[in-house]
Amino acid sequence: MPEMKLYVYNAGKGDCLLVKYLGKSEKYRNIIIDSGTGRFKGCLSALERELSAAGEGIDLVVLTHVDNDHIGGLLGLERTNAPLTAGEFIINHPDGVDIGSVAGDAQLSVKGNDELYKALIRRNATVHSAVRGDIFELDGARISIISPTQERLDRLFTTVLPDTPLGGGIDWAAELVTLMSAPLTLRDTSVNNLSSIMFVLEYADVRLLFTGDGVFDDIREGLQSLGFCETGNRGIRFDAVKLPHHGSARNLSEEWPKTIDSHRFVICADGAGHPDKKTIAKLLKWYGEIEIYSGTDWWSRDFLTREDTERFIASGKLTFSKAGGGELVWKSEAAI
């Protein structure tokens, strides 16, 4: 019986996830999505050793965009001459643009991305870029890239911009029921985040959505352009959705439930600046009952009011889960 597991690691302010499944070859395959900040490099090495001891390896690493909280762990390992070994890497880097020539002006995250890319090339790693419409196959799994567009990447690598700080105001003091009706007025305009590699991963009859730090409009346009179709007014079914930008409400839209149908959501955050409580409130409003998974238990630190607990936790409408990596498991009856 085909099985897929998703692990959500405690990467602090950063993202790091692992997808594990038994491929057509009857071998376990492992896909790492993002690598946390530089502080997470030791955990990445430990994960690689753990997989190796089990007779497995890292088959693919996807780095969604240039920000340090996504590439930092892998870059840290390259700098210590203890690089992560993987079959393939997906990382966006400009063609024909010499980052070194604008090193004095380029933002630090773009410089770090350039350093990492060159380090991978020097050691003859297999490196791919990814834009909307690209498809990758890995032993029974299919990865469909829904974003970014080439236009988004061109802007990222040819425009000198300041670094964008992580996080914003915390709205945790408000009650969920109040935030349900609060408007989604702010929008994420970070060029870095808008360049995120976002993709659908399909395996047997399991479908997952990974959104980096992207925005809803790009998610919707990308899904439509690749032929993913809504079911009535319920949106496209996903077994789980990794929410964009650490659960920021700036990356959502009131149109979200018309495009996406899911009740399981992953948030990579540590409670310092993210996630927005409004995000949880909106998901509850749209779906009625939801499960939230994370590598840290940020919700245990003054996130819920007494009314939140009585109204949503006690009734089972809202569930939070953290395990040794926040493991989600699907067993499929479908053939691979």
DSSP for 64-79, please give it.
-SS-HHHHHHHHHHHH
Give pLDDT, residue 335: 39
Is residue 253, in this structure, part of any structural domain at all?
A: yes
Domains in the chain: how many in total?
A: 1
Q: How confident is the model at residue 164 (pLDDT cuts 50, 70, 90)?
A: low
Task: Give domain status of residue 336, yes or no.
Answer: no
pLDDT at 159: 67
The reported pLDDT for the residue numbered 157 is: 81
Q: Partners of 318 in the beta sheet?
A: 290
CATH number of the CATH domain containing 60: 3.60.15.10
- Residue 113 corresponds to which tokens in the numbers above? 């991305």
Does 26 map to a domain? Answer: yes
The pTM score is 0.93
In a domain, 199, yes or no: yes
Residue 326 pLDDT exceeds 50: no
Confidence of residue 168 (pLDDT cuts 50, 70, 90): low
**Residue 155 located in a structural domain:** yes
Residue 181 placed within a domain: yes
Q: What is the pLDDT of residues 14-39, one digit of tens each?
A: 999 999 999 999 999 999 999 999 99
Which is higher by pLDDT, 164 or 155?
155
**pLDDT digits 0-9 by tens, 288-322:** 999 999 988 999 989 999 999 999 999 999 999 97
Q: Which of 14, 53, 139 minimizes the C-alpha distance to 88? A: 139
| Cβ-based neighbour number of residue 8 at 10 Å | 26
Element (H, E) at 44: helix 41-53
Q: Is residue 207 part of a domain?
A: yes
Encode pLDDT of 81-114 as tens digits.
Answer: 899 999 999 999 987 666 665 544 457 788 899 9
Mean pLDDT of the 70-76 span: 95
Domain that holds residue 138: 3-331
pLDDT at 333: 41
Residue 161: the pLDDT is: 55
- Whether the per-residue pLDDT at 232 is higher than 80: the answer is no
DSSP letters along 240-276, please? EEE-GGGG-GGG--TTHHHHEE-SEEE----SSS---
